[in-house]
Each structure stands twice: as structure tokens, then as C-alpha cells.
Amino acid sequence: MNEQTKTAQHGLSEHSHGAGVPIQIRSARVRSADVNDFELVTQREEQWRYLSTDRLGGLLGELEEFTGDLGLTAPDDVTTAWVGRDNELFGKAGLPEDRISAAAWTTCDAAYLITVPSSENAQEISLKVTSADSTPSALHLIVDAKPFSNSTIVIDHTGDAVLAENIEINVGDEAQLTIVSIQDWSEDSIHTSAHFIRLGRNARIKHIVVSLGGKTVRVVPSVEYTGPGADANLLGVYFADAGQYLEHRPFIDHSEPNCKSRVTYKGALQGTKAHTVWVGDVLIRKAAEGTDTYELNRNLLLTDGARADSVPNLEIETGQIEGAGHASASGRFDDEQLFYLQARGISENEARKLVVFGFLNEIIQQIGIESVETRLAESIEAELARSTH
């Protein structure tokens, strides 16, 4: 199998510590478009350790190509096309790192390509991914932001679905891209999504994940640098209700000098067996001198019976960096904040809502599109209204 199809051998790696020990370090994982290169999904593997296979439903079996609707709203000079595997952009941004992503990859004979031309003017693009069918399916999207382009793309997932998705995001030299992925599915939907982000020289991306609806949602963004001076800002906000499972696993692979990354994810949880997982991985390779990186995850537990797992990881192979750090915190309300609001005549229930809304809205307001920000703010308010505390 050639280098473009498979970039690591599965099984024991140089980081393993004995026969049969699963790969633990992110950089040692297999990357392959062949589903047969991956073991069956089990919680024995680190990347599936928190997620019971029962929650993945039909995604562990045969998949069909997505038959839902893709509704695009974009300026006239933004072009779209269905492209086959022979297209040079198919697989350019990255390759799957898990079995479900690989299964989706091999299921899709074509990808929906959005091409953003070079332009000094900011472009706003909306793609609505809508499904009314819970047949296990796969979807492949490609975003090609040309050098010197400037755009914001919102990918909005709604309806009923059991969907495995791959999104390739190529950001050309000197380009600026904000991409927002909204998961607002029905309560029984299951969605896994792998985002492969490839940054050119001095490219900038703001990548925002918003996960609100769905029984099981798993989003895995990964960033690869291909030239110096690039900047990645990964943001996420999520709200889990009773019985809901939301998982996010951002990965930043610093392989070029003088690049920057920031990762900030915030979540709120309420209800019995509401469960969120955040695992943030940052790798600073030997060649990545001058790297500046920081990752942060914070969670608010609104009720008893909710669980938030938060794991920041750093791999550093050079000491010639500007800075690298991480922080993680999960806890209940700040009593001082509640007391401050109540002392000004606000009821305890309203005070709690204000604190949570302010906590999450810090991420929402960075989208930069008023209509989307308003809609998401209303969704968060609706979630808070269901709280009994």
C-alpha cells in the first residue's frame, strides 16, 4: 500500500510497551483510507475508550451514501461540484484515523466540493445538511479555500440521521477561513464527523464546533500545517441533556516553524447520564521551532448525574518554542456569581440561566454572523428552560 493511502503500520508502534498494548499516543495512530487497516471498534482502544459501541448503532455496519438534502447559499463566484476519487483534492487534507471514518471514506464514490475563489471581500456561505432518514449513511465534503480568499462557511446539520461524515478543509496560502459546524440533530440521531484541516503558509482558520442535538455526537477535528506562519483557532461549545453523549477530540499537529494554535472548548451538562468527553491533543514536532500553542476546556455541571471527561495532552519534541500550555476545569456554579445576581433582585433560577448563557455565549459570539448567533442563543435558552434547577 502506497504512502498516500497508508501512513503508518497498525498494531504495535515504537511507543508501545508490550505485546497487545493498544496505541495510546495520538501521533502513532494509523492513517488509512482502507477500513481493513483498522481493528473493530472497542473501548479497549484509547480513541473509543469513553464511547460504548451500543451508542454507535448502525455506523458499525454497512453504510450507504448520504441521500439527504444539501442546500447551499453562496455568492455566484463560489462554485460547487461532485468530484470523484480521481480528483486531486480527494484525500489532500488528510486520511482517516479510525474505522468508522475509513468506512465512510470507502463508501463515498464522490465528494461534494465547495471552492472559494481568491477575493479581498469576505464571502458568507451556508450549507444545510438535512436528513429525514435514519439509514446508516456516509457523506464526504471538501472545502477548497483558494490562496488569499476570505470566507465564512456554516455547515448546519439538522433532522434525523445516522451519519458518518468526513470533511476535508484546505486553506490556501494567505487565506482566511471561518468554518462553523453545527450539530442540531433530532434526539435519536447518531453522528460522527472527522474534519481534516490543512493550512498553507500564513493561512488562518477559525474552526467552530457547536453540538446541541443528537443522541450521540462525535466530532474529531485535526489540523496539519504545511508552511510557516499559519494560525489555527479551534473553538467549541456544547450542551448535553439527560442521556445525551457529546464527544470532541481536537488534534493540532505542529510540523512547521513559527505557527500558532489556540483551542478553547466550553460545555454545559444537565440531567441523568448526560455525558461529554473532550480530549485535546497537541503535537509539537522537532521542526516546529517557534510554536505558540495553548488549549483550554471548561465544563459546567448543572445537575447531579452528569459527567464531563476532560483530557488535555501535549507531545513536545523540541524546546525551541514560544510557549505551550493547557488547562482543564469541570465544576458547578460559582456561588459568588449567583449571590451577586440575586443580591440585585434576580431570582435564583434566572441567575443560573444568565451565568450559563454568558459562559457559553463567549464562543457563540465569535461566529460573526448575527442570524446564526441569534438562532444558537435561542437554542441554548431552550436547553436552559428545560433545567429543573
Question: Residues 331-350: pLDDT tens digits?
Answer: 776 666 666 666 777 776 77
pLDDT band for 361, please (50, 70, 90 cuts). Answer: confident
Of 236, 183, 192, the closest CA to residue 212 belongs to 183
Q: Which residues contact 72 (CB under 8 A, 6 or more apart)?
A: 80, 114, 125, 126, 127, 128
108-112 average pLDDT score? 97
56 contacts 43 by C-beta, under 8 angstroms: no
Q: Is residue 348 part of a domain?
A: no
CA distances from 288 to 94, 262, 293, 316, 339 (A): 19, 16, 11, 10, 47
- Confidence at residue 337, expressed as pLDDT on a 0 to 100 scale: 64
pLDDT of 92 strictly over 60: yes
Q: Is residue 20 part of a domain?
A: no
Please give the tally of structural domains in the chain.
Answer: 1
List, for residues 206-219, the tens digit of each pLDDT value: 999 999 999 999 99
227-232 average pLDDT score? 98
- Confidence at residue 338, expressed as pLDDT on a 0 to 100 scale: 66
Q: Strand 123-145 relative to strand 69-73: parallel, antiparallel, unpaired?
A: antiparallel
pLDDT band for 3, please (50, 70, 90 cuts). Answer: very low
Q: Is residue 206 part of a domain?
A: yes
132 contacts 159 by C-beta, under 8 angstroms: yes
The residue length of the chain stands at 389
- Confidence at residue 23, expressed as pLDDT on a 0 to 100 scale: 53
Q: Is residue 360 part of a domain?
A: no
Q: Is residue 368 part of a domain?
A: no
pLDDT of 388 strictly over 50: no
Q: Is residue 349 part of a domain?
A: no
Q: Is residue 383 part of a domain?
A: no
pLDDT of 372 strictly over 60: yes
Q: Is residue 100 part of a domain?
A: yes
Q: Strand 323-331 relative to strand 292-301: parallel, antiparallel, unpaired?
A: parallel
137-160 average pLDDT score? 97
- Confidence at residue 120, expressed as pLDDT on a 0 to 100 scale: 83
Domain enclosing residue 269, as ranges: 26-334
pLDDT of 53 strictly over 90: yes
- Grid coordinates given for 168: 476535508
List the single range of 1-5, 93-97, 285-289, 317-321 with lowest mean pLDDT: 1-5
Q: What is the residue whose three cell numbers read 436552559?
A: 384
List, for residues 34-43, the tens digit of each pLDDT value: 999 998 999 9
